[in-house]
A and B are shown apart, each in its own frame.
Chain A
């Protein structure tokens, strides 16, 4: 990963900010971090301190381990609410026919499938009402127009990008099982350095993936690069609960229940321990909003779901 000096400084700033949230790191380690070489720069992996090079590999291993049981564990951990969050996310996007979506860290395809279903049901509805109206008005149904409408629905496309091959494979299997054959493609790639051209997508989404990335600002900058002018960046991610009572309940649940579920259902305590720790290490709503603004997005807003357990951040490339 070749980086310029300014990006280097940005990364060290980000790593330093993360340090203040680590329970097990003392201040002296910050000084140490500033003087180390770039490849040995420290960052957080859950509540652990690791080098940046190590983090990517560790995260990769986590998701390789959880890939098979990923969807099952999502349902178990959130009581199925994650489906509501994702449904709301897509409704908030309200994509129109012909939209090109890039779903990053979208391994098992939850967002991608919802997107396709939403757009296609919209087009079906539109063509149905157009049919009804023209029948009522006694106008001859123009076959070309109909095929054009359904053709447009096939024009919508989603590219699912993930760094982890196992997650992509789970997604591809799900697609075949659901009978989704067109409008979707799968791409292995690193969110910090996407193998995609500039200005090529209408919407960029990253759902429950950005907190696992080593350099969040790089991810957002890449998002800015690949979006068309007027394109939308949307991020669905765990965030901070401000209400102290709810937060204590949420913390208890996260640390006492989730790793246990991970052990029982997936025989993997550590991966789920990492997952809940990584949530605590991620920026809160306002800080993340600031990062998005700094990378050039405008009209940046966020919306809390379930009292702040999850937040949808949105920005436009204007």
Chain B
């Protein structure tokens, strides 16, 4: 490593050296983040954890300065890592269902269990760190971190909906992901205070929320139909009124 650095210090500024350096930086950060996870129970999601992780990698503790925003970068790393694992699991499940000669897209009635299982699988990934996850949720809620946290949640719900075979291109795209985001978040909060065996209460809570969505979905659709009928009726009355008052000269 020292010799490579010396050749860089020799003054050559070829593009290769620059990208090598960036790769080195990226890899070093990744190594530190991975090693830091073991210390989360002890120090939480803080700079101390990152320093401890750096020391395990043989770097001085001050290497935590590679993460200027501190502990929150460790949380992002964990979050995105879990999202990637979930995506792999869902892809495998979809491939398995394809192989067993079922349709590509789960039928309408299969979407709800699929989503429910995906949310459960994702929440289970938090369980190893659940003693410190409330702290993480608090940190993610802080104003400087909230935009990135929201984006991560958005990516998560997008992954799940993608693997259900969602192809909507209208406003539904947003409503689907927003509602799933709300379900995920509320279940996560519930899980933090759940003391039941294997978090059974949490999964029951999740079932009830999925049921809510289905009911609300039907209500909205009925409501929309009702609104369109009412709208037509109103239009009709307006035309009658104008006819009576003689204002609708065009219709004569």
What is A's interface to B at a CB cutoff of 8 Å?
6, 10, 92-96, 98-100, 198-199, 202-203, 221, 224, 228-232, 294-296, 298-299, 301, 314, 316-318
Which of A10, A92, A231, A314 is in CB contact (< 8 Å) with B60?
A: A231
Which of B8, B47, B62 is in CB contact (< 8 Å) with A202?
A: B62
Sampled A-B contacts (18; CB under 8 Å): A6-B10, A93-B65, A94-B62, A96-B51, A96-B61, A99-B61, A202-B62, A203-B60, A203-B62, A228-B60, A230-B54, A294-B9, A295-B9, A296-B5, A296-B6, A296-B9, A317-B5, A318-B21
B61:A229 contact, CB within 8 angstroms: no
A221 to B13, CA, bound (A): 16
A229:B11 contact, CB within 8 angstroms: no
| Residues of A with C-beta under 8 A to B63 | 230-232, 316
A231:B21 contact, CB within 8 angstroms: no
| Residues of B with C-beta under 8 A to A100 | 60
A232:B65 contact, CB within 8 angstroms: yes
Q: Is the interface of A mostly helix, strand, loop or mixed?
A: mixed
A95 to B61, CA, bound (A): 7
| Residues of B with C-beta under 8 A to A99 | 60-62
Among B34-75, those with CB < 8 Å from A are: 47-48, 51, 54, 57-66, 68
B232 near A: Cβ within 8 Å? Answer: no
A94 to B13, CA, bound (A): 32
Known A-B contacts A224-B9, A295-B9; the reply to A94 vs B64 at CB < 8 A is: yes
| Residues of B with C-beta under 8 A to A294 | 8-9, 11, 13
B5:A230 contact, CB within 8 angstroms: no
Mark contacts of B77-94 with chain A using CB atoms, 8 A cut-off: 1 yes-contact digit, 0 otherwise.
000000000000000000
What is B's interface to A at a CB cutoff of 8 Å?
1-2, 5-6, 8-11, 13, 21-22, 24-25, 28, 47-48, 51, 54, 57-66, 68
A229:B8 contact, CB within 8 angstroms: no
A96 to B22, CA, bound (A): 26
| Residues of B with C-beta under 8 A to A231 | 60, 62-63
Known A-B contacts A202-B60, A230-B58; the reply to A94 vs B65 at CB < 8 A is: yes
| Residues of A with C-beta under 8 A to B61 | 95-96, 98-99, 202
| Residues of B with C-beta under 8 A to A224 | 5, 9
B5:A314 contact, CB within 8 angstroms: no
B6:A230 contact, CB within 8 angstroms: no
Which of A199, A221, A298 is in CB contact (< 8 Å) with B24?
A: A298
B13:A230 contact, CB within 8 angstroms: no
Q: Tell me, rounded to whole Å, the shortest Cβ–Cβ distance linking B51 to chain A.
A: 5
| Residues of A with C-beta under 8 A to B58 | 229-230
Which of B2, B11, B22, B65 is in CB contact (< 8 Å) with A316?
A: B65
A301 to B60, CA, bound (A): 19
Q: Which of A6, A96, A198, A231 has the most CB of B within 10 A?
A: A96
A298 to B20, CA, bound (A): 10
| Residues of A with C-beta under 8 A to B62 | 93-96, 99, 202-203, 231-232
Q: Is the interface of B mostly helix, strand, loop or mixed?
A: helix
| Residues of B with C-beta under 8 A to A318 | 21, 24-25, 28
B65:A96 contact, CB within 8 angstroms: no
A299:B66 contact, CB within 8 angstroms: yes
Least CB separation from B6: chain A residue: A296
Least CB separation from A156: chain B residue: B61
A260 to B24, CA, bound (A): 50
Q: Tell me, rounded to whole Å, the shortest Cβ–Cβ distance linking A224 to chain B.
A: 7
Which of B25, B48, B59 is in CB contact (< 8 Å) with A299?
A: B25
A230:B28 contact, CB within 8 angstroms: yes
A-B complex: 10 closest residue pairs judged by Cβ atoms: A230-B59, A202-B60, A96-B61, A296-B5, A296-B9, A230-B63, A96-B51, A298-B25, A296-B8, A232-B62
Q: Tell me, rounded to whole Å, the shortest Cβ–Cβ distance linking A77 to chain B.
A: 29
Least CB separation from B27: chain A residue: A318
Least CB separation from B22: chain A residue: A298
Least CB separation from B32: chain A residue: A230
Q: Tell me, rounded to whole Å, the shortest Cβ–Cβ distance linking A290 to chain B.
A: 9
Q: Which of A93, A230, A317 has the most CB of B within 10 A?
A: A230
A298 to B112, CA, bound (A): 48
Known: A93-B65, A294-B11, A298-B25. 13 other contacts (CB 8 A): A92-B65, A95-B62, A96-B61, A96-B64, A198-B2, A221-B9, A229-B58, A232-B62, A294-B8, A296-B6, A298-B24, A301-B68, A314-B65
Q: Tell me, rounded to whole Å, the shortest Cβ–Cβ distance linking A283 to chain B.
A: 17
| Residues of B with C-beta under 8 A to A98 | 61
| Residues of A with C-beta under 8 A to B8 | 294, 296
Least CB separation from B7: chain A residue: A296
A231 to B65, CA, bound (A): 10
Least CB separation from A198: chain B residue: B2
Which of A10, A203, A301, A314 is in CB contact (< 8 Å) with B11?
A: A10
Q: Tell me, rounded to whole Å, the shortest Cβ–Cβ distance linking A81 to chain B.
A: 23
| Residues of A with C-beta under 8 A to B22 | 298
B47:A94 contact, CB within 8 angstroms: yes
A202 to B10, CA, bound (A): 23
Least CB separation from B60: chain A residue: A202
| Residues of B with C-beta under 8 A to A198 | 2
A9 to B48, CA, bound (A): 44
Q: Which of B1, B58, B62 has the most CB of A within 10 A?
A: B62
